[in-house]
Chain A
């Protein structure tokens, strides 16, 4: 039920984002979703890619600081208040969201949102209990 995500430390200077994406491109790795959290000095780039092991290896070889984390991909109804309904369910289960971002592709008419939870097991449990579809990693990488 979990999706592997690659996080990369990026110093806030011109060209670094291009360097990361070029490095991945040169190794034939395709980015499926991304988000960038930043401060004035540095940023944390988070990526879902089609080949995460290879991406991690390549980036490390090129001298980047990389960490792998597990996130959860959730299908969210693509209509007004669709997102709110999911967050309400999470709130009722007392699960905290560390951060989230949207996936580029849709899945059967629904939007896909990537979540990082403080307690992923509890989040999966409460979501599936309330009939929300949580995607498998394999599905996400090949979307």
Chain B
């Protein structure tokens, strides 16, 4: 589809969506009234930026069904996001929404290499979370054989992958590494599996991690992106060229904004992704602040697909740190540590201020990969890390080695950043 034709389709669908939420969703009625905007004002795609943003807070305030644009009799499915703080957010789908969602998932799974002959192994938990059901329906749509094994019991996952000859693994990138670790422990060679593709999503990961997973499991690893507030998986996904995720612009309009000024940034700039759904019936959402930091690449992809490519998320607009005026993302540091350690790092960033100078201390838990009996080597390791971090971030940091398990974890998740600066 040419960009001109695509934009025409986008405008039409956007106008229909704005019209519908004006009629059906009180939250949008109020927002539009406050912004003094009427559906008729949307005459071109540029007018999109005149619409107010939707935030997670809006969804919470309208818990559970306040944002729905159709009566419940038209809703055939309900999902919800994992509420890390407070109430979860609830999303609904009509029959058409499910059809569209299924097609979008099938689209990125096909781009990743999955076809009718594949056996798709889904280790996401089946439940309120959109991941498992999204991929499940997408896989069936393609005609591949779907194994809904769900989450947990890594030994059983490995046995099923061996015996059922699973060819496509669907999970989070960190779980892929857990599987690789377990196989290594048990002396199982990746050659004893039939895996060809890994479709990973649900959390940010680095290219280093991609290479490690590919090498240890013997598969082609692609990234995909989605969030339940907008639909679930199937918003964007990588093709086999692994050069960013094609974002399905016939159903979603992406914008990149400066998270502080809320200004729309020019194509190619790094900023927060804002998404508008333009074909959903039950739960349309306009200009949703995803808080994910990324970049959009409009240059043509080698695969021939014309949809814009979204780069791997580089962090969250809410955990981005500004240290000595430099934007720092914890994932950048994670990548350096990952390279140096050769295994999953456990670390914490302590940001503080001495006088008027910001300081960054990176506490790294020692493990056997990075512990040396000779003090000289141990200190060299720390010095090299500090140099590498300086060159990657453009800002100096002190690396402090700490004992294993000394960084507090909450339900298995470490708190990555402690900012002690006064605001």
Contacts and interface: CB of A to CB of B under 8 A. Distances in A.
Nearest to B378: A44
A63 B368 contact: no
A9 B403 contact: yes
25 contacts: A5-B373, A7-B371, A7-B373, A9-B366, A9-B401, A10-B403, A16-B403, A39-B375, A41-B400, A42-B366, A42-B400, A42-B401, A44-B373, A44-B375, A63-B403, A63-B404, A63-B405, A65-B367, A65-B368, A65-B371, A66-B368, A67-B368, A67-B372, A98-B374, A116-B373
A69 B373 contact: yes
Top 9 closest A-B pairs, CB basis?
A7-B373, A37-B375, A69-B373, A65-B366, A9-B366, A11-B403, A65-B371, A9-B371, A42-B401
**Interface on chain A toward B: helix, strand, loop, or mixed SS?**
strand
A7 B373 CA distance: 6
B406 interface: yes
Interface of A: 5, 7, 9-11, 16, 37, 39, 41-42, 44, 46, 63-67, 69, 98-99, 116
Contact of A65 (B375, B376, B379, B404): B404
Interface string B66-96: 0000000000000000000000000000000
A44 B378 CA distance: 9
B128 interface: no
Contacts of B376: 98
Given A42-B378, A44-B373, A65-B368, 19 more contacts: A9-B366, A9-B401, A9-B403, A11-B402, A16-B403, A41-B400, A42-B366, A42-B400, A42-B401, A42-B402, A44-B375, A63-B403, A65-B404, A67-B373, A69-B373, A98-B374, A99-B375, A116-B373, A116-B374
Contact of B403 (A5, A65, A116): A65
A41 B401 contact: yes
B39 to A, nearest CB: 61
Nearest to B377: A98
Interface in B370-408: 371-376, 378-379, 400-406
Given A9-B366, A41-B400, A44-B378, A67 B371 contact: yes
Nearest to B376: A98
A42 B382 CA distance: 12
A116 B376 CA distance: 13
Contacts of B378: 42, 44
Contacts of A11: 401-403, 406
Contacts of A46: 373
Interface centre among A65, A67, A69 (most CB of B within 10 A): A65
Contacts of B400: 41-42
A37 B406 CA distance: 21
Nearest to A10: B403
Contacts of A42: 366, 378, 400-402
Interface string B340-377: 00000000000000000000000000111001111110
A103 B214 CA distance: 49
